Structure 1
């Protein structure tokens, strides 16, 4: 199954909810990081060329967004807040 970009207006680092998908590779947007999940087969055919162009356009947009900012040396890791739950066995 071939999936195209789910968000053609994907703006890197603009929000914490948008996703761009190319085949089985997903770019999950975030305001401090973009997570990549999945795989992408680049085949030697027209579909492979389309996927490669989509990948390049997405990476170019990420690079442009990063180049246009005054960046810190490294983003601080944010620990996930632990949620307290009631013991179901008490």
Structure 2
């Protein structure tokens, strides 16, 4: 029995995190963050990792290609808050 593959809809929310080996793919409303590493080994596991990464990247490209995009996103708003531990 194989595990059910988690659906990843790019730019849909601020909550989804997909893991492929040690690679983390984090969903945001305005960006997808990819961090960590994955070995695409010459075996069935490496092939499965490569296919999953391709699925995610294909979904990202499809979403980006389907909308009007700005040249570049503005930097995020950064606010300072008082340290609650002082």
Scaled to the shorter chain, the TM-score interval is: 0.7 to 0.9
Where does the alignment leave 5 or more consecutive residues of structure 1 unmatched?
A: none
Which aligned segments of 4 or more residues in structure 1 are displaced greater than 2 angstroms?
Answer: 85-88
Deviation of the 1:79 alpha carbon: 3.4
Q: How does 1:5-24 map to 2 (within 5 A)?
A: 8-24=6-22
**26, 30, 48: which one aligns with 1:32:** 30
**55, 60, 63: which one aligns with 2:61:** 63
TM-score by length of 1: 0.84
- State which drifts further: 78-87 or 50-59: 78-87
Count of residues in correspondence between the two structures = 84
- Structure 1 counterpart of 2:39: 41
Deviation of the 1:37 alpha carbon: 1.1
Where does the alignment leave 5 or more consecutive residues of structure 2 unmatched?
A: none
CA distance in 1, matches of 2:44, 2:15: 30
Deviation of the 1:53 alpha carbon: 0.3
RMSD after superposition: 1.9
